[in-house]
Amino acid sequence: MANSRQYTDEELIQRVWDVEEIKKLIHKRVIYIANEMRKEELNDLWVQDPEHKKTASFGRNTGYYTGMDAIYDYYVVHHQNEREEQLKKLHAANPAIADIPQNLHIGCLSSHPVSTGLVELAGDGKTAKGLWYAIAQETEAQPDGTGKALWMPEKIAVDFVKENDDWKIWHIVVSTDLVSEAGEDYSEQEVYHNYETNPVDVEFGTPTIAKLIHNTDFNWWDNYPPMPEAYETFSDAVSYGPEGYVRPALYGLDSKEGRNFR
Amino acid sequence: MKSQLSLHERIRNANASQEVEKVKARHTYLHGRADATGEWADIWSRDPNCSWAHIFGRMRGFDQVWYGSVAQYDKMSFENAIELMNIYPETAGKDPRPLMEASVHTLVTDIIEVAEDGMSARGSFITPGVIHSTLTTDQKKYCNVLWERYGSDFVYEDGKWKYLHEQVCPDILSRMDCLNWAAEEYARITAPEEKEAPPVTLGEAPPVTDPGPLHLPYSVLGKPQNTVPWPEPYHTLDDENTYTSFVKPQE
Amino acid sequence: MGKTYSTEELVSRWEDQRYMKNLMGKYANCVILNKEHEIFDRFWSKKEENLCLSFNDGAYKGAEAIKAYYEAEYRRNDLVAHLLQKRFPEKLGSLSDEELYGIGPFKVKPMSCPIIEIAEDHQTAKGLWYCQGAYNKVEGCGPVARWTWGYFAVDFTYEDDEWKIFNLMYVNDIDCICGQSWGKEEKPYPPLPEFQELADFKYPEYSVKKTIRLLYAPDRVLTKAPEIPVPYRTFAETFSYGIC
C-alpha cells in the first residue's frame, strides 16, 4: 500500500535524514567490501537484533542464504577459506609470496561502487527499501602471475530496518547481470547462462533456499529484484527476502525449452 | 549559503531534492526493462512544454514524446521479438520489451538544485551505462558501454514530482571490454578513407520538433560539449533556468 | 551517537551535504570540459594555509603548488590541441588558440557513493567518494582511453558562507588501457611521431614525493580504501586527508 501520509516539518526533515543515512550505509558497505572487511560488515552494518538476525537473508540469482548464521558461513567463512586456498596456490607457484596471514587477499581487488540509488522509506519510518546499480569488478591473483579481472554489473536490492536509531541491512539481493573478463570480447561467450561455470554462481554455492530467482537469459524480463514502491509498513509481501519473491505470472518456457517439435 | 527561505520552505526543498533523485532513478530502472509506458505514463508531466532531446533532435509536447519514446520504442521491441521467437521459442509469450535489451543508464555525479519557489528542480548527471542483451537475433550476446550526460528539469504537479524536460548527451560508446574508444576514434579519422562514426542510438530517429544535432559525442577533433551545464541556484523555472527553452525555434 | 540537532540544524546540515555533493559534481564537470585551470579559484579554500592535493605518487602542498598543478593541466590540454592542429591542418588549421583549446582530451571522473560527515562545530567536513572513471588525455601513442577505479577523499572548510576544499586526495587502484585487463601486463600502443612532444611535458615536481597508493598488481597486498569519515566534533579530533 502506498504511503499517503502528511508529515510535519520535523517529521519530514527526519525522514530526509533517514534516507541520507541509509544511502550512507550502503556507501560504507562499498568501502567495507573493498577493504575485505566482511566480518566487520556483518557486525557494523547488518541487523543485530536476534529476531532480525533469524530472518536476515543474502540472495543472488540462484537463491538465498537465510539467517545470519548461514550468511556468515557463506559470506565470511567460505570466502576466507577460498582466499586461504588461493594463497596456498599462489605460494606453491611462487614461493616469494609467503603463505602468511598478512598476504591474505594478495592480488585481489573487489570494487562494487553503487549508483542510481532509489530508496523508499516506509510511511511508519521503521523500515526502508532501496535499489542500486553497481558496475562492479572482482579481480583475483592467479598462480601464473596474472590477475583474473571480471566485470560484473549488478543490481543490489536491500531491505533496511531501524534498530535503536541506527539503520541496518536486513535482506539483500545482489543480482549479477553478466560476467565479462576485462580485455575480452563479451560477445564471444556462449549465449546461454552456464550455471556450472559462471564464477558468481560457483562462488555462491548451494544456498539455504536454492532456486533461480533471476534468469539473465531474459535480460530484466522477470523484473527481479524489482524497484521498491512507496509503502506504509513492512510485510513479507514487499520483502527482498525469500518470503517476498514472486515468480512472474505466465512464466511460459524456460531457457532452451520449446524445441521438441522440431 | 544562507537561505532566504523559511524553515518550512527549506525542508520542503530538501525533500523535493530527494524526490527528484527518486524520479530519475525510477527512469533508469524502468528504461532498463524498456518499460517506456511505465516511464511516460507515470513519471512524466503532460504539460505541453514537456520535451525529450537526444543527439538527433528534440521532441516537444507530450504526444510527440509519447510517439517517439513509447510507440516507436515499443515497435522496435515487437519487431525484435517477432524474429527472436523463431530462433528462441522460449521467448514467445513473454513481454517483448525487456527482451530487446537492458539499457542501464546509471546515475552518478548528481548536481541538483530545487527552485526557491519549490515548484521545479533541475539536475545534471553523468551516466556511465551498460547496454546488454543475451538472446539476440544474430545469436550473439552483447554488452555495450555507453557513457552519457543528462540535463533534467522536473516540476511539482498534483502532489508529485515529474519530469518536464530531459536532454540526453551521449559521449562515449564502446564494447565490453575489447575496444578502445579513443584509439579507435583516432584510427577512424586517420584511415585512408574516413568512415562515419557508429550511431549511438537504437533504430531510426523518431520525428522531432527541434532538429539535431543537439550534442556531439566525443571526438578527438572536437571539444567536450557543455550541452547540459550544471544547474545553479534559481528562483523559478524560466528561459534563464531550463534545459529546454520554452519557445519553439523560428521556422 | 553524538550531538542531537534541532530541526533548523538538521535542514542546514542537509543543505551543506547537498552543497558538497554539488561541489564535487562541478569539479568533475570542470575536468570533463578541460577547465582544470578554473578549479582552484572556484572550489579551493583561500584562507586555509595548509592546503594539500595528493595523488598515488605524491602531493602538492600549499596554494602555489596546487595552482601550478592545475595550470599544468591547462598547458598540457593546450599542447595536445596544438599538436592535433598540426596533424589535422585541414580541419583545425583555421582555429584561433581560444577556439582550439579543449580539443583532444576527454576525461570523465564521475563521483559516486558519497559518505559525508560535517563536524559538530560546522567549521569543517569530510567526504569520501568512489570514482569509476574513463579518460583519454592523449599520450605519446596518441588518443588512448583508460579505465580508472579509485577514490576522491576530501576535507572541506566553511569559509565566507561556502564550503571549500582544503585537502583533496585522488588515488586509484586501477589505471588501465580500455580493452585490456588490469590483471595482465599492459600492452602499450606504439608511439606516434605527431605526439612525441608530449614525452617532454612535465608536471610540476611534487612538494612531497612519496607513494601514497600503489596501483593494483597481482602481487599487491590488500590495500585499504581511504578512511571512512566518522562523526566528529572538531577537525582536531579527527583524521586528515592531507599528506605530511
Any CB–CB contact under 8 A between C119 and chain A? no
Q: Do C181 and A36 make contact, defined as CB atoms within 8 angstroms?
A: no
* Interface probe with B: pick from A24, A220, A222, most Cβ of B within 10 Å: A220
Tell me the shortest Cα–Cα distance from A3 to chain C, in angstroms: 23
SS3 for chain A, per residue?
CCCCCCCCHHHHHHHHHHHHHHHHHHHHHHHHHHCCCHHHHHHHCECCCHHHHHHCEEEECCEEEECHHHHHHHHHHHHHHHHHHHHHHHHHHCCCCCCCHHHCCCCCEEECCEEEEEEEECCCCCEEEEEEEEEEEEEEECCCCCEEEEEEEEEEEEEEEEECCEEEEEEEEEEECCCEECCCCHHHCCCCCCCCCCHHHHHHCCCCEECCCCCHHHCCCCCCCCCCCCCCCCCHHHCCCHHHCCCCCCCCCCCCCCCCCC
What pLDDT score was predicted for residue B21? 98
Nearest Cα residue to C167 out of C31, C43, C71, C22: C43
| Nearest CA-CA distance, residue B8 and chain C, Å | 10
Q: With CB atoms and an 8 Å threshold, state whether C143 touches B112.
A: no
What is the complex's ipTM, to 2 decimals?
A: 0.96
Confidence of residue A1 (pLDDT cuts 50, 70, 90): very low
Mean of per-residue pLDDT scores for chain A? 96
CB proximity C26 to B under 8 Å: yes
What mean pLDDT is predicted for residues A52-66? 98
Model pLDDT for residues A150-197, shown as the tens digit of each residue: 999 999 999 999 999 999 999 999 999 999 999 999 999 999 999 999
Least reliable range by pLDDT among A135-139, A182-186, A258-262, C1-5? C1-5
pLDDT digits (tens, 9 = 90+) for B107-120: 999 999 999 999 99
For residue B3, the model assigns a pLDDT of 78
Tell whether A189 lies on the interface with B, counting CB pairs under 8 A.
yes
Span B14-33, pLDDT tens digits: 999 999 999 999 999 999 99
- Average of pLDDT values for C27-37? 98
Give pTM, 2 decimals. Answer: 0.97
Name the closest residue on chain B to residue A119, using Cα atoms. Answer: B22
Q: Is A180 left (phi over 0), alpha (psi -120 to 50) or beta?
A: beta
Contact (CB<8Å) C110/B172: no
Across the interface, which of C7, C11, C88 has its CB nearest the CB of B221? C88
Query: For residue B200, is pLDDT > 70?
Result: no
Q: How far apart are CA A49 and CA A55, in angstroms?
A: 10
Residue B194 has pLDDT above 90, yes or no: no
Optimal mutation site among B108, B127, B176, interface C, most CBs of chain C within 10 A: B108
The shortest C-alpha distance from C86 to chain A (Å) reads: 33
Indicate yes or no: CB of C115 within 8 angstroms of CB of A28.
Answer: yes
Q: Binning pLDDT at 50, 70 and 90, where does residue B1 land?
A: low
Give CA separation, C216 vs A24, A148, C131, in Å.
26, 12, 15
pLDDT at B70: 96
What is the predicted pLDDT for the residue at B140?
97
Q: Any idea which of B25-34, B183-192, C97-106 has the lowest mean pLDDT?
A: B183-192
Please, which chains are in contact with C (at least 3 CB pairs closer than 8 A)? A, B
Looking at chain B, the whole-number percentage of residues with pLDDT higher than 70 is: 94
Give the cell for residue C101.
583549446
Which three cell numbers mark C180? 585490456
Looking at chain B, which subunits does it touch, using at least 3 CB pairs closer than 8 Å as the criterion? A, C
Whole-number pLDDT of residue A232? 96
pLDDT at B249 (0 to 100): 53
Count CB pairs under 8 A between chains B and C. 124
A-proximal residues of B, 128-157, CB under 8 Å: 128, 130, 132-135, 139-143
In the block, cell 560504507 appears at: A28
- In which band, very low, low, confident or very high, does the pLDDT at B202 lie, cut at 50, 70 and 90? low
> Of the candidates C110, C115, C113, C120, which has an alpha carbon nearest to the alpha carbon of residue C2?
C120
pLDDT tens for residues B140-161?
Answer: 999 999 999 999 999 999 999 9
> pLDDT category, C80, cuts 50, 70, 90?
very high
- Residues 36-55 of chain B with CB under 8 A from chain A are none
